[in-house]
Structure 1
Amino acid sequence: MFIKANLFGIDMSKTSKDKVPEAQGVVSGCVFLVTLFLFIPVPFSQHIIKNVDFPHDEFVEMMAALLSICCMLLLGFADDVLDLRWRHKLLLPTVASLPLLMVYYVNFNSTSVIIPKPFRSWVGFSVDLGFLYYLYMGMLAVFCTNAINILAGVNGLEVGQSVVIAGSIVLFNLVELWGDLWKAQQFSLYFMLPYLGTSLALLRFNWKVILVKQSVHNPLSGGARYCKDDGVKEEAATSRFVPRVELV
């Protein structure tokens, strides 16, 4: 289907010139979205059945996260078809992060950042960034959505690093489930577990003998999921991207 639509490429690491379908990240992305769409009633089933104390704030958070991920998936498809310029790919993730930022502003509006222990004697325990915090989160959306795409062109590397980062975040969430912020960790798992599963499936076809090319859908929508997770535990999720900074 994708080859007929002229969405294909050539595996440059092989001597053969067989056509390889591109844009397969949109398939894994759609499976991820459909899975979460079907999962939406599950966390709120007790509240729906008993019809009491429905957590509207948590529901809105989930909808905003799904909207941002869906926007980035659309951007990835548009880039494959229209070959968007980099200035557009740098601007649109910021716009796609606005639903998350607005929900964060309404539900929390906490703009304080905890200072690492070695620097607390000079700066203090935390610093209130104010408006700069939202500017930072908007810039973080641009970084996360494009960082996965840095090592494009090597079989299995893009989706492979997505699997590693997602797996480490899932492990962190599972460990922290017994902490004070267990609800936030549980909310993160709602997104990261389906993403890890769909990424593993994509990796199966994008490994040594490449059968499909993921294109930019998985990196962009994957970065949006990581950016969403940054709102749950900033230093934990952002630290997974340190190797991307070193590569740059």
Structure 2
Amino acid sequence: MPTPRPLPSTSLLVACIAVATWFVVRPFIDPFPPASDTLHFRRILALCTRRDAVYHSGRGACVHPRKPEGHRIYSNSTRAQCAPESQGLVCAAIYILLLILFIPFAFSDAISSAASAKDVEGIVVTEFPHYQLSVYLSSLLSLLIATMLGFLDDVFDIRWRHKIPIPIIASIPLLMVYYAERGNTHVVVPLPLRFLFGTLVNLGPLYYIYMSLLSTFATNSFNILAGINGSEVSQAVIIALSVILNDLLYLPWPLDFRIPLHLLGSRKEVEIGGVWSAGMAYGSRELVERHLFSLYFMLPLLAVCTGFMYHNWYPARAFPGDTLCYVTGMAFAVVGIQAHFSKTLLLFFIPQIFNFLLSCPQLFGLVPCPRHRVPRIDHDTNLLYPSQAPFEQKPPSKLATLILRVLSTLGLAKLTIEPSTGAIASTTNLTILNFFLVRLGPMTEKRLVQVLMAAQVGGSVLAFVVRYGLAGLVYDGNRR
């Protein structure tokens, strides 16, 4: 079994306590608006959660992977050795436990107001935010279902055609609460199409299909972009950071500043902050509550993933399994749906969308699709090379040949041509990881995951530019 990385000493816990104490004391020194009070406690729990994830993820049971040669890439030092699998279950357990413990604090304002309310006649009627509670609990239930189904996938090795409906099942509680509370199903039509459809279009049942497909994409997009040390968890960390940064723009802050969006082609500037202007929410309590809800789920997710990343970084001493992919994907789907910024969320998935579109010829059967499309490792040099998908049983169809030649011309794939017939004998597997190897050449596994992280960061930067710089070109007004 690979030697586990040394666990952090108690100095990390002491540092977390010091930082958490500052977050507690800070509001009393210079009070923030009431909407941010609960967020400080969430930060404390997130710091403690990160330490728990670092500690427990490295203590997983030693189990042998199902297919050591195809399921995971092993470095020379850890190849064919025993390593903890499915440690995403540990992360999911800590994450969900933290969300459960946080429930009283998320609704502390309502509880404290009910306790302090007085009436001269001795009868007090205080309206509790049952809708927010039902949204929180339904989101938690979806995460629990995703955890259970993800672990079943790790144990029983579920086939891809059976994996597709799993996130749809997990999203049922979300959709039912959304329907019961008469959730909005209208969408704003872009300016160029308004002469056909008007300003608003009611999608009705199609909107619920869209939300279920969003949860399906968010979970499976991590699952099909995996196979190297640190790939799954690094994607989750960067996307969580992007969502958190987007949420912070809408919260009340004691400082204010302006973003010069006119440099990006926008007609106006965006003002951030001001204690009571609630950031980019501009005094809208509803928007503040939505993004606070998102932060309640994203901060502990970031803490858990960064803690696990300590053990999953190359050379990995623990692997996440499918459970972490399901839980992180469902967490992003939850905040995108319940906080009503699903389009912004999809912008943070630009590399995953690219990987999905590139994979479509294999996912839909036009090109042979092996179960694991991870890059091939040369154990002599410890370098990764693009893996191949050979046409062994039958030659590619005319449509597949056309698609592959277009991809080859664009530099997205590398083809092997049969010299005698000129037909395509094989192609590199159509994933973004193999694409990086085709364009940049062979590289080590650590270098490849760094390239993937750089692409993810670049995608997030592009997402912010599109969302807050270019969106004004196709939408009028303040599209928050």
TM range (shorter): over 0.9
Distance 1:157 1:117, change over 3 A: farther
Give yes or no for contact 1:9–1:21 (8 Å, CA) kept in 2.
Answer: no
Q: Is 1:100 aligned with 2:174?
A: yes
Query: Counterpart of 2:83?
Result: 20
Query: Counterpart of 1:31?
Result: 94
AA at the equivalent of 1:91: P
Query: Counterpart of 2:200?
Result: 126
- Count of paired positions: 248
> TM-score scaled to structure 2, two decimals?
0.49
Query: Counterpart of 1:202?
Result: 308
Query: Counterpart of 1:235?
Result: 343
Query: Counterpart of 2:234?
Result: 160
Give CA deviations for 1:56-111 in whole Å, capped at 9, x if unaligned. 00000000000001100111110111111223211121111111001111224211
Q: Separation in 2 of the partners of 1:240 and 1:189?
A: 16
> Relative contact order: is structure 1 or structure 2 higher (C-alpha 8 Å, sep ≥ 6)?
1
SS in 2 for 1:113: strand
Distance 1:36 1:141, change over 3 A: same
Instruction: Report matched runs for 1:52-91 at 5 Å.
Output: 52-91=126-165
Q: Separation in 2 of the partners of 1:148 and 1:117?
A: 33
> TM-score scaled to structure 1, two decimals?
0.93
Identity %, equivalent residues: 37
Query: Counterpart of 1:212?
Result: 318
Q: 1:109 aligns with which of 183, 188, 193?
A: 183
Distance 1:229 1:116, change over 3 A: farther
Give CA deviations for 1:107-159 in whole Å, capped at 9, x if unaligned. 24211112334444554333211111111111111111111112211111111
Distance 1:242 1:125, change over 3 A: farther
Q: Separation in 2 of the partners of 1:226 and 1:4?
A: 30
Q: Separation in 2 of the partners of 1:137 and 1:33?
A: 22
Q: Is 1:174 aligned with 2:174?
A: no
Query: Counterpart of 1:48?
Result: 111
Query: Counterpart of 2:355?
Result: 247
SS in 2 for 1:210: coil
5+ long unaligned stretches in structure 2: 1-58, 115-125, 252-278, 357-480
In the TM superposition, what is the alpha-carbon distance from 1:12 to its structure 2 partner? 2.8
Give yes or no for contact 2:62–2:82 (8 Å, CA) kept in 1.
Answer: no
Bigger CA radius of gyration: 2
Give yes or no for contact 2:62–2:83 (8 Å, CA) kept in 1.
Answer: no
5+ long unaligned stretches in structure 1: none
Q: Separation in 2 of the partners of 1:4 and 1:184?
A: 41
In the TM superposition, what is the alpha-carbon distance from 1:8 to its structure 2 partner? 7.6
RMSD: 1.9
Larger mean Cα displacement after TM superposition, 19-28 or 80-89: 80-89
Q: Separation in 1 of the partners of 2:90 and 2:66?
A: 14
Larger mean Cα displacement after TM superposition, 22-31 or 80-89: 80-89
Give yes or no for contact 1:112–1:130 (8 Å, CA) kept in 2.
Answer: yes
Give yes or no for contact 2:62–2:85 (8 Å, CA) kept in 1.
Answer: no
Q: Separation in 2 of the partners of 1:3 and 1:32?
A: 19
Distance 1:175 1:129, change over 3 A: same
Q: Separation in 1 of the partners of 2:175 and 2:62?
A: 40
SS in 2 for 1:127: strand
Distance 1:205 1:118, change over 3 A: farther
Query: Counterpart of 1:191?
Result: 297
Q: Separation in 1 of the partners of 2:62 and 2:231?
A: 26
SS in 1 for 2:83: strand
SS in 2 for 1:216: helix
Q: Separation in 1 of the partners of 2:302 and 2:197?
A: 38
Distance 1:172 1:125, change over 3 A: same
